Structure 1
Amino acid sequence: MAAQHHHHEHSGHDLVHAAESALTQAGEQWTELRADVFGALAGHASPASAYDIADEVSAKRGKRIAPNSIYRILDLFVTNNLAMRVESSNAYLANSHPGCLHDCIFLVCDECGEATHIDNDAVSKTVRSLAEAADFKPERPVIEIRGLCAECR
């Protein structure tokens, strides 16, 4: 059995509180806009684009929020482990265990676009070791496995 990374999965208000706590502990501010962006992102079960989030936050606030502003906030969230980026679809998922550092392994369905995040420390360790053996310093490995989810098969 592969070694797994264990952590507490947050949801709902507990997830927002955990994200706020992780961001402020990292020395960043938890602003109303950042709270709105994280709330919108956390409301998605599947990956959401910055444009999806911008539309939702704009509707909530009653004024247009530029996607560039949303991208900056999402990048901050990824840097601080509050969100994960699905590279192949340029979309984001809220991290259900904010602040917990681990590599991203996604199972991405080519049919419906659903992305399931899994943790496997043995795979992460192997990928990091291979990179280091090639004299490369891995910063944030992301592995995406494309295929069909159980619903679409």
Structure 2
Amino acid sequence: MATQHHHAHEEHAGEALIEAAREALVASGEQWTSMREAVFGELAGQERPASAYDIADNLSKARGKRVAPNSVYRILDLFVTNNLALRVESANAYLANTHPGCQHDCIFLVCDECGEASHVDDEDVSRAVRELASARDFQAKRPVLEIRGLCRLCA
């Protein structure tokens, strides 16, 4: 059974988050290119989940030339595969993983009003979901649980 391998003291922000993401991606055998750094930096700067189109638009403005959303999607998929980003499935949007390279089950509280998505680390819920899958002879690769509703400010 996979578990989440991080501790609160390993959470990163700002430049430390970008550096931790670079180290994790390189350690996984991938290259850290200037475009990947730009996409991750943009993603890490978002307060809410961002779509590939949002990121492509922001990078296009910053660079003064068009950045294709398809290129951003490929990079985001690579980030999800390597635990640098988390995907909010129902919104087709992404959040930077503040514990780059650490295994996460995706448990989100998603506000239908403002779009805020809070990532929740809960070992008991993760274990229960994986055990449920295992009891049915199903190997869970990337569990995703989204709870839709209203955040404290919108309720």
Category of TM-score, reference length = shorter chain:
over 0.9
2:66 to 64, 67, 81: 64
1:76 to 78, 81, 96: 78
For 2:104 and 2:72, locate their aligned partners in 1 and report how far apart those are by CA, in whole Å. Answer: 24
- TM-score, length-scaled by structure 2: 0.94
User: How far 1:123 sits from its partner (Å)?
Assistant: 0.7
Does residue 17 of structure 2 align to residue 15 of structure 1?
yes
2:32 to 30, 33, 38: 30
**1:21-74, Cα deviation, whole Å (9 max, x unpaired):** 000000000000000000000110100000000011111222111111000000
The CA RMSD over aligned residues, in Å, is 1.1
Does residue 114 of structure 2 align to residue 149 of structure 1?
no
Moved segments of 4+, more than 4 Å: none
The answer for unaligned runs of 5 or more in structure 1 is: none
For 1:6 and 1:152, locate their aligned partners in 2 and report how far apart those are by CA, in whole Å. Answer: 30
The SS at the match of 2:87 is strand
Amino acid at match of 1:37: V
The answer for unaligned runs of 5 or more in structure 2 is: none
Q: In the TM superposition, what are the counterparts of 1:1-150 in structure 2 within 5 Å?
A: 6-7=7-8, 8-150=10-152
Q: Equivalent pairs: percent with the same residue?
A: 69
- TM-score, length-scaled by structure 1: 0.95
